[in-house]
Structure 1
Amino acid sequence: MPTPTASSLVPSSFRGLPPVVWTIFAGTIVNRLGYLVTPFLVFFLAARGVTGTETSYVLGALGAGNLLGPAVGGILADRIGRRPTMLIGLIGASAAQGALFLAPGVWTMAAAALLISAAGSTVSPAAYALLADAVDSERRRRAYALFGWGVNIGTAVAGVLGGYLAARGYWLLFVVDAGSMLAYALVVAVRLKDPKGEKPRETSQERKDGIGYGVVLRDRLALLLLPLFGVQLFVYSLTEVALPLAVHDSGLSPAVYGAMAAVNAILVVALQPFVTARLARFPQLVVQGAGSTLIAGGVALTGLADGVAGYTVSVVVWSLGEVVVAGIAAGVVANLAPAHARGRYQGAFSWTWGLARFAALTLGVAAYTTLGPAVLWWTALAAGTAAAVATAALTARVNARTAHELAA
């Protein structure tokens, strides 16, 4: 019986990707293994005697940082380079972890939380841009799907690790979180190289576009797609925000929500490589629309669930949608971007992601508590489905734009 080689162990959907992509994948797993402080932040603050109202200030600062970081990260990625931007974000977020643990009061905690999310979220636009530099347009979806797979693998393990460490002292969460960021920074510093070599001399088009986000704001197709992606990301973010509320209101224990998170992680980690390979031949935005419809339907099913079985069905549906859409949105945005503005296009996409999560935390929770759960679930279904259909309808325009860019 032949001994399996390293390449034969790699899922077919990810074979042929260059070393840069695999390095980012490995570094992402290491980094996400330490994604421990944020999920347990409410418990840590309670242990420090922070009141419910004061906790909202810290969480609000954490959300605000996710709006600031991607915007800055996109500019820095294009201005000073992908690797330096990633190093600044990782080292800055690691230092902020220590600052949060040692912070003497609520406002210093809020400032540290703002820095954690702002510095940490500068990394994604630079990493996404580096992935786009490393592969051609045909392979970008697979590269971004691999990146997302790494996030899910690390997050799944972190969920188990976090509970174990928290029971033995919250300081362990901060040590592991900061250490994982520094480990990823070391990977970036030692292993990552710019696949395009040194930055070429600035062109007239780059001078015309400047260093800000005007290049994105003048792109009408991007301005159509980003809000549509934002609506879909908002609906998906409700799985992190409103699902725990629904489980609680059903009289079920927090362990049930933990089990639902485990179901999601297992499905995504197990299925994503194979689903990505099977769907690669279909139009990307059509697949994105189908997957987003599944997510919206799964989220809406939460409103019909009143027990473990019902919640499990809803989680399975939206998890399948998550698997289907993996890597598509970021890949489409990368294909639209001029080479000199990839960081800013990915910064705009990451900012859209941050805005969607922030809206879910604020508008989503407000709708659930004031208008009622049914309003939120049906609105999510309608908005998510409409955005999915509108996204699929842009397929021809995106294909025409991509073909034009390749010809140029």
Structure 2
Amino acid sequence: MPPQFEPLPRAVRLLLLARVVNQLGAFSLPFLTALICADHGASLTTAGLVTAAFGCATIPSRLAGGRLADRIGRRTTIVLGLCGCAVAQLAIAASTSLGWTVAAAVLLGLAFELYEPPSQALIGESVPERQRVRAFSLFSAALAAGGMGAGLLASLLGRWDLRWLFVTDAATCLACALLIRLALPCDRPAPLGTDRAGAAVRPLRDRALLTVLATGTAYALINQQTVMTLPLALTRQGLPAADAGLLFTATAATTVLAQPLIRLRWTGRLTTPAALALAHLLLAAGLTGYALARTLPALVASAVVWSLGDLLVMGRVYALVTDLAPPGASGRYLAVFGTSWGVAATLAPVLGTQLLARAGTTALWSTMAALCVLLAALHLRVTPESPALRDVPQAAGSPAPGAVQAGGGRS
């Protein structure tokens, strides 16, 4: 049976379903800065620093998630992280002062990434190499499917009261945790990984991983601008911040509807460096549209182009990181790579708010577009090829129907 038609393990399918439920409420974070400004009268700079504090807290959270997954098991770590996120989201919604909001935002950061390394490791270790791109693409498809409903909820609830976005997010986190706890079997902690010589695995000494981490951090910085800064950028253009929910929905819908594009023969023949370079050129085109657009329909069209670039990124890059890891070490490799999102979440709100305050929306999106072009060139020169994609090129280019990448999800 061709790899694209082989059924995925039951544990992976249940995890995909749980993430759809979780993602239905996952668009509260982009409105954190807007909530701080609107409800607490904070300046753009203060709001950016608070969001940066959240991002900084996600870095140890991601590393702890990889370590806990190896020590107490995948399922337990996922449930712990989701419950922690729910508590922090409810604290943000109930906060009556800026100080309490800052404390709750930091707590959210400390819990936010706990469940990502065990989720990704569970996927990477449950399927053979020839199915990894497909499996990670389906994981992103689950985020996109939930994201379409989340964007609409954000648009509706955000017009009423931004606090309800955090309440809804907390509810979906608890529902996802319950589903994981009841449906997934209890797993034993993975053994500590060693390389082929028997030495303990140290991901930070792997040059190939560090190369992917560097370019991945730059990509995550750009991605976070389109998530965290977008609502503020819309308000500076005279549009409601809640319209960001419509743009998020357009992005998620495009990644679902554009799935046939990644099954084209020429797409499957692309190497990982070439596919990532093409993706970043599409990202640059979408961001250029953001810089020039002044109406909601034009912004939606730009979001569509942006999402086509996102479509090519995540399935490839997470399969690459999993393939680079020695046996038993994928959780820690994915955790180290995932710190790129924490670094980006720390820097993005500071950079974005400063660019908005000092130069405006056009400068913000133009700068991000230029960075995408630079990354496209770098991928062709420094990005390693995935061993799985090199050895099984047809499998790499043949994801299953419905396998997509969700732009701006919880990664």
Q: Normalization by structure 1: what TM-score?
A: 0.82
Say yes or no: does 1:121 pair with 2:113.
yes
Which has the higher relative contact order, 1 or 2, with Cα contacts under 8 A spaced 6 or more apart? 2
> Would the alpha carbon gap of residues 281 and 26 (structure 1) be closer, same or farther in structure 2, given more than 3 Å must change?
farther
SS of residue paired to 2:278: helix
Say yes or no: does 1:20 pair with 2:11.
yes
> Would the alpha carbon gap of residues 240 and 97 (structure 1) be closer, same or farther in structure 2, given more than 3 Å must change?
closer
In structure 2, stretches of 5+ residues that fail to align are 392-411
Say yes or no: does 1:134 pair with 2:126.
yes
Say yes or no: does 1:328 pair with 2:328.
no
Q: What amino acid is aligned across from residue 317 of structure 2 in structure 1?
A: A
1:86 to partner: Cα distance: 0.9
Q: CA RMSD in A?
A: 3.2
Aligned-partner Cα distance in 1 for 2:158–2:238? 25
> Would the alpha carbon gap of residues 100 and 259 (structure 1) be closer, same or farther in structure 2, given more than 3 Å must change?
closer
Q: What is aligned with 1:236?
A: 223
> Would the alpha carbon gap of residues 294 and 76 (structure 1) be closer, same or farther in structure 2, given more than 3 Å must change?
same
2:79 to 87, 93, 105: 87
Q: What amino acid is aligned across from residue 352 of structure 1 in structure 2?
A: S
2:101 to 104, 109, 113: 109
Q: What is aligned with 1:359?
A: 347
Say yes or no: does 1:349 pair with 2:341.
no
Aligned-partner Cα distance in 2 for 1:34–1:86? 17
> Would the alpha carbon gap of residues 360 and 36 (structure 1) be closer, same or farther in structure 2, given more than 3 Å must change?
closer
1:221 to partner: Cα distance: 0.8
In structure 1, stretches of 5+ residues that fail to align are 1-11, 404-408
Native 8 Å contact 1:61 1:114 kept in 2:
yes
Q: What is aligned with 1:6?
A: none
Say yes or no: does 1:193 pair with 2:182.
no
> Would the alpha carbon gap of residues 163 and 253 (structure 1) be closer, same or farther in structure 2, given more than 3 Å must change?
closer
Say yes or no: does 1:62 pair with 2:50.
no
Structure with greater Cα Rg: 1
Q: What is aligned with 2:257?
A: 270
1:167 to partner: Cα distance: 5.8
1:371 to partner: Cα distance: 5.0
Native 8 Å contact 1:74 1:126 kept in 2:
yes
Aligned-partner Cα distance in 1 for 2:380–2:329? 25
> Would the alpha carbon gap of residues 159 and 76 (structure 1) be closer, same or farther in structure 2, given more than 3 Å must change?
same
2:205 to 210, 218, 228: 218
Q: After superposing the two structures, state which structure 1 stretch, 342-351 or 380-389, moved more.
A: 380-389
Native 8 Å contact 1:276 1:326 kept in 2:
no
SS of residue paired to 2:154: helix
- C-alpha offsets along residues 152-181 of structure 1, whole Å, 9 cap, x if unaligned? 221221222234445666665444322221
Q: What is aligned with 1:3?
A: none
1:117 to partner: Cα distance: 2.5
Native 8 Å contact 2:54 2:345 kept in 1:
no
Native 8 Å contact 2:4 2:134 kept in 1:
yes
1:276 to partner: Cα distance: 3.6
Q: What is aligned with 2:278?
A: 290
Native 8 Å contact 1:235 1:299 kept in 2:
no
Aligned-partner Cα distance in 2 for 1:101–1:258? 19
Q: What amino acid is aligned across from residue 332 of structure 1 in structure 2?
A: L
Say yes or no: does 1:32 pair with 2:32.
no
Native 8 Å contact 2:26 2:169 kept in 1:
yes
Q: What is aligned with 1:7?
A: none
- C-alpha offsets along residues 210-266 of structure 1, whole Å, 9 cap, x if unaligned? 7xxxx1111011111111122222223332345445544444454654443332222
The alignment of Structure 1 onto Structure 2 pairs a total of residues equal to: 385
Q: What amino acid is aligned across from residue 25 of structure 1 in structure 2?
A: L
1:285 to partner: Cα distance: 2.9
Aligned-partner Cα distance in 2 for 1:264–1:397? 28
Q: Normalization by structure 2: what TM-score?
A: 0.81
Report 1:245-264 matches (<5 A). Answer: 246-254=233-241, 257-264=244-251
SS of residue paired to 1:339: coil
Aligned-partner Cα distance in 1 for 2:301–2:14? 35
Native 8 Å contact 2:85 2:112 kept in 1:
yes
Determine what percentage of the aligned residue pairs are the same residue. Answer: 31
SS of residue paired to 2:7: coil
> Would the alpha carbon gap of residues 313 and 96 (structure 1) be closer, same or farther in structure 2, given more than 3 Å must change?
closer
